[in-house]
Amino acid sequence: MKTKPTRRTALLALLLLGALSATVALAAPLKVFAGSASKPPLEELAALYEKQTGVKVEVTLGGSGTMLSQMIMTKVGDVYLPGSDDFLDKAEEKGAVAKGPRHVVAYLVPAIGVQKGNPKGIKSLQDLAQPGLRVGIGAPKAVCLGDIALELLAQTRLSGKVTPNIVTHANSCEQVGALLRMKQVDAILGWDVFAKWAPDDIAIVQLPPELRKYRYIPAAVTKYAADPKAAQRFVDFLCSATGKAVFKKHGYTVTVPKGKLKHPAKGKR
- The domains of the chain are located at 29-107+216-261, 110-211
Q: What is the pLDDT of residue 42?
A: 98
Give pLDDT tens digits along the chain (269 positions). Answer: 444 555 555 555 444 545 444 444 456 899 999 999 999 999 999 999 999 999 999 999 999 999 999 999 999 999 999 999 999 999 999 999 999 999 999 999 899 999 999 999 999 999 999 999 999 999 998 988 999 999 999 999 999 999 999 999 999 999 999 999 999 999 999 999 999 999 999 999 999 988 888 899 999 999 999 999 999 999 999 999 999 999 999 999 998 877 666 555 554 54
Phi, psi of 215 (to 5 degrees): -120, 165
What pLDDT score does 205 carry? 98
- Closest to 176 (Cα-Cα) out of 161, 165, 166, 164: 166
Rounded to an integer, what distance in angstroms lies between the CA atom of residue 106 and that of residue 157? Answer: 30
Question: Is-same-fold flag (29-107+216-261; 110-211)?
Answer: yes
Q: Give me the residues paired with residue 213 across strands.
A: 260
Q: Which amino acid is at 223?
A: K
Task: Estimate to the nearest angstrom the gap between the alpha carbon of 182 and the chain centroid.
Answer: 22
CATH number of 110-211: 3.40.190.10
pLDDT of residue 256: 83
Alpha carbon 1 to its chain centroid, in Å, reads 64
**Distance between start and end Cα atoms, the chain:** 64
- CATH class as words, domain 29-107+216-261: alpha beta
Torsion from C-alpha of 208, 213, 190, 147, nearest 10 degrees? -120
Per-residue pLDDT at 257: 76
pLDDT at 269: 47
* Strands in the chain per DSSP E: 30-35, 57-62, 79-81, 103-108, 110-115, 135-138, 166-170, 187-191, 202-205, 213-221, 260-261
Residue 18 exposed, middle or buried by CB count within 10 Å (0-12, 13-18, 19+): exposed
Which pLDDT score is estimated for 23? 43
